[in-house]
A and B are shown apart, each in its own frame.
Chain A
Amino acid sequence: MARIDLVDLAHSYGGNDAPQDSFALKPVTMTWRQGGAYALLGPSGCGKTTLLNVISGIITPSRGKILFDGKDITPLSTQKRNIAQVFQFPVIYDTMTVGQNLAFPLKNRGVPKAEIDKRVAEIGRLLDLESYLNRKATRLTADAKQKISLGRGLVRSDVAAVLFDEPLTVIDPELKWQLRSKLKALHRELDLTMIYVTHDQTEALTFADTVVVMHDGRVVQSGTPAELFDKPAHTFVGYFIGSPGMNILPAEVRGREARIDGHVIALNRAYDNLPAGAKIEIGVRPEFVEAVAPAPGLLTARIERIDDLGRIRFARARLGDAKLAARAPSGFTSSDGMAGLKFDPSHVHVYADSLLVEGAV
């Protein structure tokens, strides 16, 4: 149980002298509070596994420090840190029974037998593994094996955090939901800090109360799912989270107006101090753009197709070179393939060089 602080932490597989651009993990300073359920979200290769392995000690960072409750544990080996980690593929000790597998982390740390039995029984109960405790672990299905891996991660009561590295990759979609809800329930029951790495936004948003989005070795935003959805701090977050992702359109912004192709889009806030020379874009979620019949004063786009997602329809449109998606209200049809776009001003954000700019009220 601990608060985990990362202080100016960075890692390069090429060594500390490699150019900063090549760092797998660019300098990051952040805090993981005790008992939080975190998701580390990002596309493959964005450095999330590196960050996880740095926290667990499998990798020693090139720079910076990791503090557990204010104590610097950077030089400590994995064995000496109070960390549990569950990997992408199930790791099972072939010769042991399910129970022995669960007991292994405790046995290695010299926990008394009675205590081990108690913990194993408890974790077995929580993961529905009770009736299998005396069976050989090798003859089980992949998801049962992964449950054992999860169990080994959860069995120690003294860990500072449990790290999950895309633990449900090998599991069927159906079972994924169940195991994820199970994890969520376990989180509430055991009061553990959990960090869950995934590239699947649904997984991240359903599991975590704080989602940390990584992109190209950098932590670009960390916040609640609602924050990420409503106010992406980086165009990448807007694009990566939500389906379809946020529309990002190059625009000229002056005061309370954004101009695209000479059309004016009203903004809720005033943007007078935009950095000069920066690439200015506006970002708006498809949910807050409505496709209507073309009318004067409305930005007009060419409709390419309409995706019917059942409860909602999205028009996929093209605006010059840019592609965008807009909500298509029921009854909307386009006779000539053109549609007018109505923006909801309170949900249009302005980005300078991909970073969110806060406007003045």
Chain B
Amino acid sequence: MDKTVNQKAWFLVLPVFLVVAFSAVLPLMTVVNYSMQDTFGNNQFFWNGVGWFKELLDPSTDLGGRFLASLGRNLFFSMVILAIEVPLGIVVALSMPRQGWTVAACLVILALPLLIPWNVVGTIWQIFGRPDIGLLGYVLNAMGIDYNYVSNEIDAWVTVIVMDVWHWTSLVALLCYAGLKSIPEAYYQAAQIDGASRWAVFKAIQLPKMNRVLLIAVLLRFMDSFMIYTEPFVVTGGGPGNSTTFVSIELVKIALGQFDLGKAAALSLVYNLIILIVCWIFYTVMTNAGVERKVQAESEPVAEPKPSAALKPVPALKPKEGVA
């Protein structure tokens, strides 16, 4: 087939190019520019080279100390919520009904927290947890549990984690539910015939069939929790002290609170880079899993007349995903 060559088509791309340039490339370059300089306000800038970056990675300095501490908190937070939300989401998905009107009811109820804007979620929990007027805070204190997320670090952490679990477990559950629904009935029947226990069915059928959606769930939840800002900021404001100050909160403090544009720019570049790298790792893992899946998804009978050839492994990348 002959392709029509028409260089004028570039004019159609130009608007997008301009928009991207103004909305992404130029701001990013500005940030790179700032990250190399120091400013004392008044629009005066002084060259600082890679100074901020060196400071950022050196825990003995103020900037490095704050950055690394908040990064540590952020990673810990992500690990904790993944460890809770993924198993919990699986359990919720497994216990959801498979048919009837209850399915729709469950889906709607599960989707509700996902539809609430972040700062509203924060506000809800901020009030919910208050010892004086919040339902949760008041009840806990009335029961004799000394709970106050404003003054106690552990209480603050628990509140932030429970809030995130409340907000996002639904996402994991919905993804897992979709994965579960795609398992053909024959697998369950075969497992029944094979005398498999509930646990064996989960291990041999459900978990392997869910592994792809679980990877997506883990990726989404990790990314989101690693970039979390609004909810903890609204609830605890990063406190008490710095105990719930995550990287994004620290970044806003430096950039807008102290107006240290250079430091903030350096920090945001490193922050961005970390997210990109993690994204890339996940992407690679997922694509590899995808390739393996395509290979195994061979369900079409392959014409192989000789019996000796009947067991040959399938050549990679057969199209068409089937029942297998």
Contacts and interface: CB of A to CB of B under 8 A. Distances in A.
A137 to B, nearest CB: 9
Contact of A142 (B193, B197, B205, B299): B299
Contacts of B298: 140-142
A53 B197 CA distance: 20
Interface residues of B, number: 37
Contact of B301 (A53, A105, A170): A170
B193 A84 contact: yes
A172 B303 contact: yes
A92 B292 CA distance: 15
A105 B195 contact: yes
Nearest to A168: B301
Nearest to A174: B305
A87 B187 CA distance: 9
Given A94-B209, A170-B301, A152 B194 contact: yes
Given A87-B186, A108-B200, A178-B307, A139 B313 contact: yes
B317 to A, nearest CB: 12
A292 B205 CA distance: 63
A139 B314 contact: yes
B198 to A, nearest CB: 11
A288 interface: no
B1 interface: no
Contacts of B314: 139-141
B300 A142 contact: yes
B324 interface: yes
Contact of A141 (B193, B197, B200, B301): B301
A96 B301 contact: no
A78 B283 CA distance: 42
A219 B258 CA distance: 86
Nearest to B316: A139
A140 B324 CA distance: 10
Contact of A56 (B186, B193, B310, B311): B193
A89 B205 CA distance: 15
A108 B310 contact: no
A89 B195 CA distance: 19
Interface string A82-100: 0111011111111110000
Given A142-B302, A142-B324, A143-B310, A58 B189 contact: yes
A89 B299 contact: yes
Contact of A93 (B205, B303, B311): B205
B200 A171 contact: no
A128 B307 contact: yes
Given A85-B193, A94-B209, A143 B204 contact: no
A78 B192 contact: yes
A139 B192 contact: no
A195 to B, nearest CB: 13
B209 A105 contact: no
A13 interface: no
Contacts of A95: 203-204, 208
Nearest to B186: A87
Most buried by A among B195, B300, B303, B314: B195
A119 interface: no
Given A53-B189, A144-B310, A144-B311, 5 more contacts: A77-B192, A93-B205, A139-B313, A141-B302, A172-B303
9 contacts: A87-B190, A89-B184, A104-B200, A105-B194, A108-B200, A109-B195, A131-B311, A142-B299, A153-B193
